[in-house]
């Protein structure tokens, strides 16, 4: 009897290791990452609307976030370029009370992400992302980082820091 146990024990261990090593990686979460939006609370907001430099920095922030999210392998980006929603076209998803989740669900995404750059002054900014479950609209995550004494060229750096140190670290 001891001989059988002596033979079966290593076989069971090997079978367990083979099963663990052959496990399928988790299916990536399909996420609709919408373009970053500018929320301007600075004193100049009423007199100096967003300009080409602001729009370019928002585009770069969006690209950086998408690049990092896709490269992680944990997420699969869903194309949002054909979205025809008024709030999305106007860059106001941050104010639509979760409509981005409904839009993402229509794109067959699992989650939606809206990135927001909040201009407090011309040298103080906050970069935030908000992720919602596309089916329920429930908030999954909200994270923010502040930029002090920076210019709008730092927006993509703030987006990169958030994705690397919040979104991807929490998903581990």
CB atoms within 10 A of CB 120: 16
- What confidence score (pLDDT) does residue 31 get? 98
The pTM of the full predicted model, rounded to 2 decimals, is 0.82
Is 12's pLDDT higher than 50? Answer: no
pLDDT tens for each residue of 33-86: 999 999 999 888 877 778 899 999 999 999 999 999 999 999 999 999 988 888
Q: Which two tokens stand for residue 134?
A: 């596309």
Count of helices and strands (H, E) across the chain: 6, 6
DSSP type of residue 25: P
Terminal CA-CA length for the chain: 44
Q: State how far the Cα of 126 lies from the Cα of 142, in Å rounded to an integer.
A: 13
* Antiparallel, parallel or unpaired: β 75-77 and 29-33: parallel
Q: Decide if 144 contacts 128 (C-beta within 8 A).
A: yes
Q: Which two tokens stand for residue 138?
A: 């429930």
Which residues, in sequence order, are CB contacts of 155 under 8 Å at separation 6+? 36, 57, 58, 60, 61, 117, 125, 127, 147
pLDDT tens for each residue of 103-158: 999 999 999 999 999 999 888 899 999 999 999 999 999 999 988 766 777 899 99
* CATH number for domain 28-170, candidates 3.40.50.10070, 3.30.420.10, 3.40.50.2300, 3.40.50.150: 3.40.50.10070
Task: Indicate left, alpha or beta for 36 from its phi (over 0: left) and psi (-120 to 50: alpha).
Answer: beta
- What confidence score (pLDDT) does residue 22 get? 58
Q: Indicate the pLDDT class of residue 88, thresholds 50, 70 and 90.
A: confident
- What confidence score (pLDDT) does residue 26 get? 86
Phi, psi for residue 23 in degrees, rounded to 5: -65, 140
Is 167's pLDDT higher than 70? Answer: yes
* Of the listed ranges 18-27, 66-75, 154-163, the one predicted with least confidence: 18-27
Query: Which runs of consecutive H residues, i.e. helices, occur in 72-119?
Result: 86-89, 99-106
Q: Which two tokens stand for residue 7?
A: 């033979």
Q: Which two tokens stand for residue 146?
A: 């502040």
Q: Break the chain into its structural domains and give their ranges.
A: 28-170
Across the range 156-170, mean pLDDT stands at 92
């Amino acid at each position: 009897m001891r001989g059988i146990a002596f033979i079966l024990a290593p076989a069971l261990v090997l079978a367990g290791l083979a099963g663990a090593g052959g496990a399928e990686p988790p299916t990536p979460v399909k996420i609709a990452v919408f373009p970053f939006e500018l929320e301007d609370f600075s004193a100049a907001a009423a007199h100096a609307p967003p300009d080409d430099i602001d729009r370019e920095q928002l585009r770069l922030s969006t690209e950086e976030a998408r690049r990092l999210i896709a490269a992680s392998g944990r997420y699969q980006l869903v194309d949002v370029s054909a979205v025809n929603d008024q709030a999305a076209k106007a860059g106001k998803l941050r104010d639509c009370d979760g409509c981005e989740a409904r839009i993402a669900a229509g794109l067959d995404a699992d989650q939606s992400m809206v990135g927001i750059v909040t201009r407090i002054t011309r040298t103080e900014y906050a970069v935030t992302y908000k992720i919602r479950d596309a089916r329920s609209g429930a908030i999954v995550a909200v994270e923010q980082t502040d930029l002090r004494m920076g210019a709008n060229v730092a927006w993509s750096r703030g987006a990169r820091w958030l994705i690397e140190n919040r979104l991807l670290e929490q998903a581990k």
